[in-house]
Amino acid sequence: MDRPGPLASESADAVAGPTEAVPPNPIQYARQGRIGVITVDYPPVNAVGHGVRSGLVAALDAGLADDGADALLLVCAGRTFMAGADIREFGKPSAPPTLPEVVARLDAATKPVIAAIHGTALGGGLEVALACHLRVALTSAKLGLPEVKLGLLPGAGGTQRLPRLVGAAKALDMILSGDPVGAEEALALGLVDAVEDGTSPLEAGLRAAERLLADGSRPQPVSARTDRIAGTDPALFTAKRAELAKRQPHLFSPHRIVDAVEAAVILPFGEGTARERELFLACMDSPQRAGLIHAFFAEREVAKVPGLPAGTPTRDIRKVGVIGAGTMGGGIAMCFANAGIPVVLVDSTQDGLERGVAAIRRNYDSTFRKGRLTAAQLDERMALIHPTLSYDELADADLVVEAAFESMEVKQAIFQTLDRTCKPGAILATNTSTLDVDAIAAATGRPQDVLGMHFFSPANVMRLLEVVRGTRTSDTVLATAMGLARRIGKVGVAVGVCYGFVGNRILHQRGRESMALVEEGASPEQVDRVLTEFGFPLGHFSMTDLAGIDVGWRIREERRKAGDPEAQSPNWLDTLAERGRYGQKTSAGVYRYEPGSRTPIPDPEVAAVIEEDRLRRGIVPRPVSDGEVRERCLYVMVNEASKILEEGIAARPVDIDAIWLHGYGFPSWHGGLLFWANREGLGKIAEAVQRYHRDIGGPQWRPSALLLQCAAEGRALGC
Ligand code: 3HC
């Protein structure tokens, strides 16, 4: 290199950036032969924050002024190309140069600028590449505009340049889904000009630049192209708007994305860019943006468990055992196989084992038919799952997850066997959703190696994993399970031991309140409608039908037998279960279902069962307002969540937010249960909780001391 040197530090110091720490030299400029190389080095993901933006402008100026450079190459150090604007800067005043300014400078550069892409070119990162004159990607690269997932739209020309390269229809699909495309697809679409394999981004970029110089041509800036957008049918936008109104009625930014891409088609580039800016700023100001960005960071924050130092030693997990080949066990086995980890799947009967393996194959077959799995991948995954009746085959497993029948007796017997069979140091996990992990651990001679790994159904789909730390679980075992969660693509959240842990304990209170509302006069349809209007994908009773009414019925039966006073009197759901109305699987539950359909239809038979139940209890139904349904269903959850924090079962509000986001479909644009609660107003919630405690009573309305305290002090929960 002829003239290496850091560039951004001078300009970064001159302008006070909004981020807390600007690295000393995120941008380097150096020349290699006739190519001026601009290298972005801002770990971990080269986010385009203020230091990077000002450094890019300075490096571009240096390259344009460098007489020895005939072309400029933009390349990134580390694991990835720029992964987007620096999200941590959002909501703070933005210091110049802004990203649109940087992008405009690149677009207008008097020398050709080539972007060499590896890892992920996302959001503002891809927008920088789109403003370059040529793009070359490594085969493994992924390119996308995921702003919609943060409640935004691409705000640095992405909605204007992408359609000019790939056409308006594909651009809309990419920007509305936020999902990246691979390098080969990007090449086919015209998003990149070349794909290279088995080399570094620097080498691939230098080769592309040399080719360009040898060729002597000067690629047209994307902003000047119109060939791919000319003749776009306006019906495309009408159809998209109609589709969004149906599929994503709550979301703000998707509708603005359609407006922005339409602007690319109907307005000249400069005016389209101005329209994009307006729409971007409207999204930036929307409360949904703040909620979705909280959700983004929540997913990452939960991996850092308070009190568990970074660098805590972990154990190698190379082989896993799963006990129980039922729906849950099969799904859990798939999670490991999907991550390439061999699984020994144990069941107590040959019949159970065969049914379990057949269900796993059906599941993979359906993914294969949808084109999301190749035949080779399907075979590989099936080959990783070894079914057996013998516990002896678990002798060399590094971790075993028990997913057997929900009974303490059954589980303790299994853990005694595992303790005898498994090698020293093997981690023994239970997938119990209600039972005491400490009591299960006590059945072994190694309680430090026992913990809960609570998967959510369907286990191969749902991203949440509650990692339940028993009283005696060691740090190493907890850290191993948290690391494993990430490895298998789950959001692992560490929680303590209590009935239902965090997620189901809160769900239980919402369920209890939903039932009470129906007993008092609301209909199941009303309760569900209020919850779906809030943004839940399913209302409480639709979810009950999906999970199966018999599940709760059997748990209540167990609790009745155990003498639990709360479970003594059967409710109308028990009556439905006694009549064989188990939910979707029997085409009848709280609702009825046409064969093959999942659409709930209100059923007069259920209304009659509810009415009989009210009569039996001497309840005269009253009109219940939607506002009351909303308050009682949601505030009771907040009150319980606050008690969970008080008790230390969850360490931080963000843990509860992540649990409800990833396990129960809490609407992500609200940020999470407690992020939403803080916005709703803790004072208002505390007042209502006290009122319901006075008027309705019951342990669920006993106000959480923490909630009252935060409300009185005007603090957010967790601050
Ligand atoms: N800004 C700031 N920090 C970011 C970031 C970003 N755009 N992207 C990732 N990070 C941080 C993460 O918070 C995490 O920090 P931590 O280590 O302190 O927890 C760290 O980088 C590593 O991220 P991941 O743990 O997610 O690492 P992975 O390797 O699993 O994934 C990734 C990497 C695919 C880049 C993923 O982080 C990601 O999807 N990032 C977001 C990309 C995105 O949404 N970009 C668009 C931003 S909006 C925009 O560009 C607006 C523009 O149009 C004007």
Ligand 1, atom 39: nearest CA belongs to which residue? 83
pLDDT at 473 over 90: yes
5 pLDDT higher than 90: no
Rounded to whole angstroms, how far apart are CA atoms 253 and 276?
A: 12
Nearest protein Cα to ligand 1, atom 35: 83
85 lines ligand 1 (CB under 6 A): yes
Q: Is 49 in the pocket of ligand 1 (CB under 6 A)?
A: no
Return the percentage of the chain with pLDDT > 90, whole number: 89
Instruction: Check residue 17 and give its pLDDT.
Output: 33
**Residue nearest atom 10 of ligand 1, based on CA coordinates:** 45
| Region 333-356 average pLDDT | 97
Ligand 1 pocket check for 517: Cβ under 6 Å: no
Q: Which of 708, 716, 625, 628 is nearest to 673 (CA)?
A: 716
Predicted confidence at residue 719, as pLDDT, reads 63
Query: 295: Cβ below 6 Å to ligand 1?
Result: no
- Our answer on whether the CB atom of 99 is closer than 6 Å to any ligand 1 atom is yes
Taking the CA of residue 150 as reference, the ligand 1 atom at the shortest distance is 44
The pLDDT of residue 13: 27
From the CA of 88, give the closest atom in ligand 1: 2
User: What mean pLDDT do residues 40-63 have?
Assistant: 97
The residue whose CB lies within 8 Å of the most ligand 1 atoms, and thus the one to mutate among 20, 40, 45, 160, is 45
pLDDT over threshold 80, residue 6: no
- Is residue 642 scored above 50 in pLDDT? yes
Q: Which whole number is the average pLDDT over 26-50?
A: 97
Residue 14 confidence (pLDDT): 27
Q: Is 206 in the pocket of ligand 1 (CB under 6 A)?
A: no
For residue 89, pLDDT over 60 is answered with yes
C-alpha–C-alpha distance, residues 212 and 135, integer Å: 11
Res 453 pLDDT > 50: yes
More confidently predicted of 14 and 268 = 268
Q: How far is CA 148 from the centre of its chain?
A: 13
Residue 496 beta carbon below 6 angstroms from any ligand 1 atom: no
Mean pLDDT, the chain, integer? 94
Longest CA span, the chain = 92
User: In the predicted model, is pLDDT for residue 329 greater than 60?
Assistant: yes
Q: Is 186 exposed, middle or buried (0-12, 13-18, 19+ CB in 10 A)?
A: buried
Closest-CA residue, ligand 1 atom 36, reads 83
The model's confidence at residue 23, banded by pLDDT at 50, 70 and 90, is: low
| pLDDT over 60 at 3, yes or no | no
| Residue 68, pLDDT score | 97
**Each residue's pLDDT tens digit, 647-675:** 999 999 999 999 999 999 999 999 999 99
Give the CA distances from residue 461 to residues 384, 438, 544, 669, in Å, rounded to whole numbers and listed in that order.
18, 28, 18, 21
Strand order in the sheet with 491-495: 385-388, 343-346, 320-323, 399-402, 427-430, 450-455, 464-468, 491-495
Return the ligand 1 atom nearest residue 178 CA.
44
Tell the residue nearest (CA) to atom 38 of ligand 1: 83
Residue 12 in this model has a pLDDT that exceeds 60? no
Question: Residue 30 C-alpha to ligand 1 middle, in angstroms?
Answer: 27
Ligand 1: which of 87, 103, 142, 302 to mutate, judged by most atoms within 8 Å of the beta carbon? 87
List the single range of 216-225, 274-283, 466-475, 630-639 with lowest mean pLDDT: 216-225
Q: How confident is the model at residue 24 (pLDDT cuts 50, 70, 90)?
A: low
**pLDDT band at 553, cuts 50/70/90?**
confident
pLDDT tens-digit map of 249-282: 999 999 999 999 999 999 999 999 999 999 999 9
* Burial class of residue 281 (count of CB atoms within 10 Å of its CB; 0-12, 13-18, 19+): exposed
Measured between alpha carbons, how far is 563 from 632 in angstroms, rounded to an integer?
Answer: 28
**Predicted pLDDT at 697:** 92
Sign of CA dihedral 128, 134, 137, 141: positive
Q: What pLDDT band is residue 564 in, cutting at 50, 70 and 90?
A: confident
The amino acid present at 475, given as its one-letter code, is D
Q: What is the distance in A from the centroid of ligand 1 to the CA of 688? A: 38
**Rounded-to-5 percentages of helix, strand, coil across the chain:** 55, 10, 35
**Residue tagged 């308006």 (tokens):** 168
Tens of pLDDT, residue by residue over 142-191, are: 999 999 999 999 999 999 999 999 999 999 999 999 999 999 999 999 99
**Is residue 10 pLDDT above 60, yes or no?**
no
Q: pLDDT tens for residues 592-631? A: 999 889 999 999 999 999 999 999 999 999 999 999 999 9
CA of 139 to the centre of ligand 1 (A): 21
- For residue 619, the SS3 value is coil
Please compute the mean of the pLDDT values over residues 222-226 and round it to a whole number.
97
Please state the rounded mean pLDDT for residues 310-332: 96
Residue 629: predicted pLDDT = 98
pLDDT at 600: 96
Segment 495-548, tens digit of pLDDT: 999 989 999 999 999 999 999 999 999 999 999 999 999 999 999 999 999 988
Q: What is the pLDDT of residue 315?
A: 98
Among protein residues, the one with the nearest Cα to ligand 1's atom 34 is 120
Q: Which residues contact 351 (CB under 8 A, 6 or more apart)?
A: none
Ligand 1 centroid–CA 54 distance in Å is 20
Copy the structure tokens of residue 15: 């302008």
pLDDT band at 1 (very low <50, low <70, confident <90, very high): very low
Taking only the tens place, the pLDDT of each residue in 374-421 is: 999 999 999 999 999 999 999 999 999 999 988 899 999 999 999 999
Q: What is the distance in A from the centroid of ligand 1 to the CA of 228?
A: 30
* Confidence at 555, pLDDT banded by 50, 70, 90: confident
Q: How far is the CA of 670 from the centre of ligand 1 (A)?
A: 20
Which residues, other chains included, contact 492 with Cβ-Cβ below 8 Å and sequence gap of 6+? Answer: 302, 303, 465, 467, 481, 482, 484, 485, 486
Q: Find the 18 Cα to ligand 1 centroid distance in Å.
A: 17
Is 4's pLDDT higher than 50?
no
Distance 293 CA to ligand 1 centre (A): 11
Q: What is the pLDDT of residue 681?
A: 97
Catalytic site positions: 127, 147
- pLDDT greater than 80 at residue 141: yes
DSSP letters for 286-302 = SHHHHHHHHHHHHHHHT
For residue 560, give both structure tokens.
């009745």
Residue pointed to by tokens 């080719």 = 211
Q: Whose CA is nearest to atom 28 of ligand 1?
A: 45
